[in-house]
Structure 1
Amino acid sequence: MSSEADDCGSNTKSLHFLLVPLMAQGHMIPMVDLARLLAAHGTLVTFATTPVNLARIQTVVDGAVASALPIRFVELHFPTMDAGLPDGCENADLVPSADLLLPFMNALSLLRRPLEAYLQDPDLTQWPKPTCLISDNLQHWTADVARTLDIPRLIFHGPSFFFLLCDLLINRHRVELEVAMEATSSGSFMLPGLPHPIRINKHEVTSVMRSDPDWLKYMESVRVAEESADGVLVNSFVELEPLYFESYQEVTGKLVWPVGPLSLYKEELDAKAARGRVSSIDNKLLFQWLDKQKVGSVVLVSFGSVVRNTTAQLMELGYGLEASGQPFVWVVKEVEERQVFGVEEWLTKFEKRVEGRGLVIRGWAPQTLILGHVAVGGFVTHCG
C-alpha cells in the first residue's frame, strides 16, 4: 500500500530518491525530514517503511499530501514472527529485551524481498525507476538492492562528524587500542587520527569494541556495505565541526554531504510535535510547567529509543537529579519502567519527592519542542 502526495505522471526525467530508514525513532525522524526536504526541491521521493512506523508519521503523510509534495510513502510487510520477534515488533523501541535487539537488526534484511517486489509492481509505472537509493548506514542489505537496480547508493548518518570519526578510527585501530587498554595504568589513552589530541577512557570504547561474535558479524556486514557506498549524508553542518568534517571526508575517501540540522527544516509547532510517536504527556500541561521555570535552568534527560537503562542505572539517574537541586524533565521509556518489579512504584515515590521541581515523562516525549523552550539550558543523552 502507498500514499502518494502528488501525481507526477510519466516524467521520467525527474530525479527519484528511494529512502530506506532504520526503524528506530532517532534514525527515522531525520530521514523523514530529509524526504520532505528533497521533495520540496521538486524531486520524487519514495519512503519505504512498515505499517507500525507509517502510522507513527501519519501527520507527516497528511501534511505531504496537503502540500502536494511528490512523496510516496510505502508500507512493507515485516515478518516479525519469522524472525522470532513478537508480533508488531517493527521498531527498536518495541523490542522487549536487550537480547532481542540483535535478532531485530538481523531481521531487517527480510525487508529486501517486499521492497524489490514493490519496485517491480507494474501498477507503479506512472513513477520512473529510482535513480538513487539513500539508506540508513545500518540497513546494510540495501547495498544489494542498489546493485540490482544498478543505481548509486548513499548512506545516511544521524550523529555528528566527531562521533563518526571516532567510531571509524576505533574500529580501524582495534588491535592497537586493545593493546593500549591492556598496557595503560591511567585508564585512558590517545585515539590516533583525530585533528585534536583527545584522551579516551576504557569505559568509553567498550560498547563500540564489541567482542560478541554475532554482533561483530553484523557490524562487519555494515562496514562492508558502508565501504561500497557511493557517498555519505550526515545530519550535521560544517560550521559546527569543520576539522572533523574534513578529517572524516579524508579518512573515508568518499563524497560527503553535510545536510543538517534537518530538525530545523520545519519550524511549525505542529510539525515538531508530530515528530515520532504520540506524546505521552499533554503538551499544554508540559509547557505550562516549563513556562514557570527560569530561562536556561531546566535539564532535559532523554536517551535514544534503542538505549535500555538497567534498574540500577535508572535509580542512580533519579537520585542524581534529585540531589542536583536543578529543575529537570526526565523521560523514562515504558520498557524500562516495566522491566523489573518495583520500578514503577519507585518512580511514583520519586515524583512526589521532586514535585514542582522535576517532571517525569513516562513514554514518548516531544523532544524537539522541549529543547526549543527558553527554560531548557542542558541536555543529557546518549553518545552520538
Structure 2
Amino acid sequence: MDALRDEEKPLHIVMFPWLAFGHMIPYLELAKLIAQKGHQVTYISTPRNIERLPKLPPNIAPLINFVKLPMPKVDNLPQNAEATTDIPYDVVQHLKTAFDKLEQPLTEYLESSNVDWIFHDFLPFWLGPVASKLGIKCAFFTIFTAPFMGFLGPVSVLLGNDPGRTKPEDFTVAPSWVPFQTTVAYRYFEIMKIADILSNENSGGYSDIYRACCCMQNCETILIRGCTKFEPEWFQVLQNIHHKPVVPVGQLPSTGVDHSNGDDTWSWIREWLDKQPRSTVLYVAFGSEAKPSQEEVTKIAFGLEESKIPFFWVLRVQRGPTDNVVLQLPEGFEERTKGRGVVCTDWAPQVKIMGHMAVGGFLSHAGWTSVVEAVQNEKPLVLLTFLADQGINARVLEEKKMGYSVPRDERDGSFTSNSVAASIRLVMLEEEGRIYKEKIKEMKDLFVNTKLQDNYIDNLLNHLRRF
C-alpha cells in the first residue's frame, strides 16, 4: 500500500453505483485502487449486492467500508431482486423506482458522516442538490467509455434544447461536434433496440438521458473509465462539450474478480479446458445484462455447431427466477457437440476462463468490462451486440482492428448461423483474422500497465485535493 505523505489528510470518498454488476464491479475496482493510496472509501449499495461482490484483499480491507442500505419495497419488483441480473429487462423500471427511494437513507448517512466526495452513477438525478446542501463535492463516475459519452453529446442536445438529433437515423452517423473522421455510431437496429432510454419507459418515470444530464450538470467533475493514450481524440471531445474537468481513471482491469462459491465450478471447467489444445477454444458469453432472444440463441448455437471450433458457452437462460422466458438450446445440440463444446447455464469465473491457455478467442457482446478482460488475456474478439453502449464499443473495436462483428441486417439486426460460423473461423483460424490477434496483443500494455494505471489514480487524487 502506498503511504500518504505526513502533511496529507486522507480523503473520504463515497461510491454509489447503479444496481448492475457491470457498474458495481468497476466502482469496486476504483475503490480498491484509491484505498491502496491510503484513502478511506465507503461503498454504498443494498445488502444482497454487497454480499455478492468479490472479497477484498486483506491489505486494503480496513480502508473500504461497506454500507448496506435496505432495499426499498416497490410494487412489481420481486422479493430479493436488488440488481438488474435478478429481473427481466422490462422490470428494470421498477428497480429504478426502488433506487430513487434510496435518496432518504443515503442522505441520512451523508449527514452523519464526514465525506469529502461522492462518486455516483448516471441514475441518481436527485443526488447533486443533496450533496451540495451538505457541502459534499460530486464526481459523476461513468463506467461508459469516452467514445460513448462523446458520441452522446452535450447536455443541450441530450435534453432536446439543441435540435441535433430528432430521429433514430441521426444516431447512425457521427455527430457535428466530433471534428474528426470516424465510423463510431450506432447501426439502425442498435439504436432502435435501446430507444426506450430516450423515453420514460424502463426508467422509473424519468428517462435515462434526463437522469444522466442532471448528474453531469450538478457534478464538479466527470470521471471516465478509459485511457487517454487509447482514445485521446474522444477525451478532447468531452472537454469541448462539457466545459468542466474530465478526468480519466484508467481501464480498471479486473484484479481477481470472482464471486464466492466459484471454486467447485472452476474445478470442473479447468479440467475440461486442460484437455483442449492451446488457443483452440472459443469462449462465448454476453454479460449479466444482455439476454439474446430465443431465435438469436438458436442461430448462435447452429453457428457454433457449423464452425467446428471447440467452445465454452456461458448461457444465461433467464434473468432472475421470475423471468418467464426461459431460453432453450436446439434439440440435439448438446449431443451433437458433446466433447467439442460445453454449455454452462450457471455463473462461471470469466477471468479464470479467459486466462486459460486453451482459450483462443471470445464471442462477446462488447460490454467494456469484458473487452478489458479480453485484452488483459490477449483474446481476439468476435462481436455480437445487444444493448446500451455495446454498439458504440463495437465500432471502436472495429476501427482499431481489435474485434470483428458478426454481419447483420442493418434494419432488424438479424443474422444467420452461417455468418456466426464464418466470423468465428475468420478470427480463430484464418489468415485474414490474424490482425485481430495482433492488435489485441498490441493494446494490452495500454489496458493493463500497472504503472500507467497507478499514474491515473495519482492524477485523480491530486485533482480531488485541488478542489
TM-score range for the pair, normalised by the shorter chain length: 0.7 to 0.9
1:337–1:343 contact (8 Å) kept in structure 2: no
2:32–2:60 contact (8 Å) kept in structure 1: no
Which has the higher mean CA deviation after the structures are superposed, 103-112 or 20-29?
103-112
| C-alpha distance in 1 between matches for 2:348 and 2:167 | 42
Secondary structure of 2:14's aligned partner: strand
Q: What is the match of residue 97 of structure 2?
A: 106
| C-alpha distance in 2 between matches for 1:333 and 1:282 | 15
Secondary structure of 1:257's aligned partner: strand
Tell whether 2:340 aligns with 1:357: yes
**What letter matches 2:45 in structure 1?**
T
**Which of residues 123, 136, 156 is equivalent to 1:138?**
123
Q: 1:146 to 1:282 in 2, by over 3 A?
A: same
- Superposed CA offset, 1:268-302 (max 9, x none): xxx3324xx65497112212333333444333322
Tell whether 2:31 aligns with 1:35: yes
Tell whether 2:111 aligns with 1:115: no
Secondary structure of 1:240's aligned partner: coil
**What letter matches 2:125 in structure 1?**
H
**Shift in Å, 1:175:** 4.9
**What letter matches 1:350 in structure 2?**
F
**Alignment map for 1:233-248 (pairs within 5 Å):** 233-248=223-238
Which has the higher mean CA deviation after the structures are superposed, 138-147 or 38-47?
138-147
- Superposed CA offset, 1:109-157 (max 9, x none): 1112112223445xxxxxx610000012233333233223222111122
**Alignment map for 1:1-384 (pairs within 5 Å):** 13-57=9-53, 59-60=55-56, 63-64=57-58, 67-79=60-72, 81-95=73-87, 97-121=88-112, 129-168=114-153, 171=158, 175-178=163-166, 181=169, 189-194=173-178, 195-198=180-183, 200-210=186-196, 212-215=199-202, 217-219=206-208, 220-264=210-254, 266=255, 271-274=256-259, 278-279=261-262, 282-335=265-318, 339=323, 343-344=327-328, 346=329, 349-374=332-357, 375-381=359-365, 382=385, 383=390, 384=393
Which has the higher mean CA deviation after the structures are superposed, 151-160 or 172-181?
172-181
**Shift in Å, 1:31:** 0.8
**Shift in Å, 1:200:** 4.6
Q: What is the match of residue 426 of structure 2?
A: none
**Runs of 4 or more above 6 Å deviation:** none
Secondary structure of 1:140's aligned partner: coil
Q: 1:297 to 1:33 in 2, by over 3 A?
A: same
| C-alpha distance in 2 between matches for 1:363 and 1:280 | 13
**Shift in Å, 1:29:** 0.7
Could you list the runs of 5+ residues in structure 2 that have no partner in the other structure?
1-6, 366-384, 394-467
Sequence identity (%)? 26
| C-alpha distance in 2 between matches for 1:176 and 1:36 | 40
With normalisation by structure 2, the TM-score equals: 0.67
Could you list the runs of 5+ residues in structure 1 that have no partner in the other structure?
1-10, 122-127
Pairwise CA RMSD of aligned residues?
3.1
**Shift in Å, 1:15:** 0.9
**Shift in Å, 1:93:** 0.5
1:281–1:365 contact (8 Å) kept in structure 2: no
**What letter matches 2:361 in structure 1?**
G
1:180–1:189 contact (8 Å) kept in structure 2: no
With normalisation by structure 1, the TM-score equals: 0.80
Q: 1:249 to 1:116 in 2, by over 3 A?
A: same
| C-alpha distance in 1 between matches for 2:54 and 2:274 | 29
| C-alpha distance in 2 between matches for 1:231 and 1:59 | 29
| C-alpha distance in 2 between matches for 1:369 and 1:297 | 16
